[in-house]
Structure 1
Amino acid sequence: MIATPLRFGLAANRLHHETPDAALFKWLRACSDTIRQLGVQLHTVGRTHDAIEREGMLPGYSGLIRYPYGREGGLMKLVARVTEGRDDVAPFDGAIYLIDPVDPSSIFPEALALKRQCITHGRPFISTLAGAIEWMSVERIHAGLSLDAAQQRSFDFSSQTLALISHDALKEQMVAFAADHFDLLSRFSKRVATGTTGGLLNELAWSRGWPRERAWVQRYLSGPLGGDAQIAEIVLERQCQRVIFFEDPHVARQHEADIQLLERAVRVVTDIASCATSPTVARRWAQAVERSGV
């Protein structure tokens, strides 16, 4: 067990914990060993905590910590703990909130605030089964442990498509991220991007020796003109497995509905898609992959 345990907020909409084969339990079956090895503290909203105990998951594990029910402020407390710790304890390292895209509670203010504060503070906000499984692998690698053999297939990018999207204030950071991890991102079978971001990334690739007759990324329309919706469609068709979306949480966005559409699409195909929503999180993911040697 590592000296300073990781601390994650944990919640799941009803769909993801009401049956034994629901996403929450698939995640725990895939990651229980890693959770125990790393001593990950799971600060868990009441109903989600009750479901874990009902299914006999993580028996006797002291790192499973119960918070109030959502209606009693449990999710609100997670938001506060993402922003800062209490009693000389560090803030949460991120939040795992397995979202059912048609559950009304997924757009309650506390749910939206949890995501926004994770992005603001550079912490992972993980809302899909595939993302939750992979992030435990990321933390495992950063802790100096080898990649779990059962998860190696998810790090095989030769048959995967990656979407790269960034808001205006973060386009320079997206280009810098791509420059720093160009070889890794080039391992994907295909890359797609919205308009302006795609143009900048293609110029970067050509400057790095990528053949000029080939686009490094396939460009869709700009976000406000429908690019987010176009990428959402290929996510829904299971033709795009990963989204790196540098969101600016500090500005009003006229095409907010399109952004939410893309995020909703990722959550519909929760078992195969993941989304990183800030430069800090994307870099931590990329560094782990590069360190893993896969």
Structure 2
Amino acid sequence: MKIAFVAHDKKKDDIVDFVKRYEDVFKNHEIFATGTTGKLINEIVGLKVHRFLSGPMGGDQEIGARVAEGKMDFVIFLRDPLTSQPHEPDISALLRICDVHCIPLATNLGSAEVFAKALKNHK
């Protein structure tokens, strides 16, 4: 599967910890991420990551384009719902395009855990 990871600044540690916990699952898939999130996953966890631009610079839209083209299977986007984001329209567009194309989307650790456990059991 092609899996995209996105995390707002206050969620970067959470996403890295999450990927570490499920490294055995994610190492068997193609990993994509926005700029800084991808850099952290690569450097700290050691997984190969195809990095897009950072979210505010267009990375969210690049992932959305992959979703629209049928080239992304799953998106984990750990959002910070308590902090205003200057690129909120891009974020909304990514969430919408996932819904339009029926792409599974986890926006918090609870839903990400459910999806990761399903992937682990799917072998």
Q: Does TM, scored on the shorter chain, surpass 0.5?
A: yes
**Off by >4 Å, runs of 4+ in structure 1:** none
In the alignment, which of 279, 282, 286 is matched to residue 109 of structure 2? 279
1:223, CA displacement in angstroms?
0.6
**Partner residue in 2 for 1:202:** 42
How many residue pairs are counted as aligned between the two chains?
Answer: 123
- 8 Å CA contact 2:74–2:104 kept in 1: the answer is yes
Residue matched to 1:177 = 18
How many angstroms does 1:293 deviate by?
A: 5.6
- What does residue 60 of structure 1 align with? none
Q: Counterpart of 1:245?
A: 77
Percentage identity across paired residues of the two chains: 37
Residue 28 of structure 2 aligns with which residue? 187
For residue 230 of structure 1, give the secondary structure of its aligned residue in structure 2: helix
Please, which of 44, 50, 53 is the counterpart of residue 221 of structure 1?
53
Residues 31-73 of structure 1, C-alpha deviations (whole Å, 9 max, x = no match): xxxxxxxxxxxxxxxxxxxxxxxxxxxxxxxxxxxxxxxxxxx
The structure 1 residue matched to 2:91, chosen from 256, 259, 268, is 259
The 2-side partners of 1:269 and 1:243 are apart by: 12
User: CA separation in 1, counterparts of 2:52 and 2:104?
Assistant: 20
Name the aligned partner's letter for residue 192 of structure 1.
Answer: F
Aligned to 1:131: none
C-alpha distance in structure 1 between counterparts of 2:109 and 2:10, whole Å: 12
Alignment of 1:49-128 (within 5 A): none
Could you list the runs of 5+ residues in structure 1 that have no partner in the other structure? 1-159, 211-215
Gaps (5+ residues) in structure 2? none
**1:245 to partner: Cα distance:** 0.5
For 2:57 and 2:122, locate their aligned partners in 1 and report how far apart those are by CA, in whole Å: 39
The structure with the largest alpha-carbon Rg is: 1
| Residue 167 (structure 1) aligns with | 8
Q: 1:110 is matched with which residue?
A: none
**TM-score normalised according to structure 2 size:** 0.93
Q: In structure 1, what is the Cα distance between the partners aligned to 2:32 and 2:17?
A: 17
The residue number in structure 2 matching 1:37 is none
Deviation string for 1:245-283 (max 9, x for gaps)? 00111011100000011111112212xx11011012211
* Cα deviation, residue 243, structure 1: 0.1
Deviation for aligned residue 1:285 = 2.4
Aligned positions of 1:38-57 closer than 5 A: none
Q: Which residue identity lines up with residue 197 of structure 1 in the other structure?
A: T
> In structure 1, what residue type is equivalent to 2:15?
M
Structural RMSD (CA): 1.3
TM-score normalised by L of structure 1 = 0.40
Query: Closer, same or farther in 2 for the Cα pair 1:239/1:293, shift >3 Å?
Result: closer
Q: Which amino acid aligns with 2:112?
A: A
Q: Are the aligned partners of 2:5 and 2:75 in contact in 1 as well (CA < 8 Å)?
A: yes
Counterpart amino acid of 1:218?
A: H
Q: Kindly provide the CA deviation profile for residues 125-184 of structure 1, in whole angstroms up to 9, marking residues without a partner as x.
A: xxxxxxxxxxxxxxxxxxxxxxxxxxxxxxxxxxx2100000000100000000000010
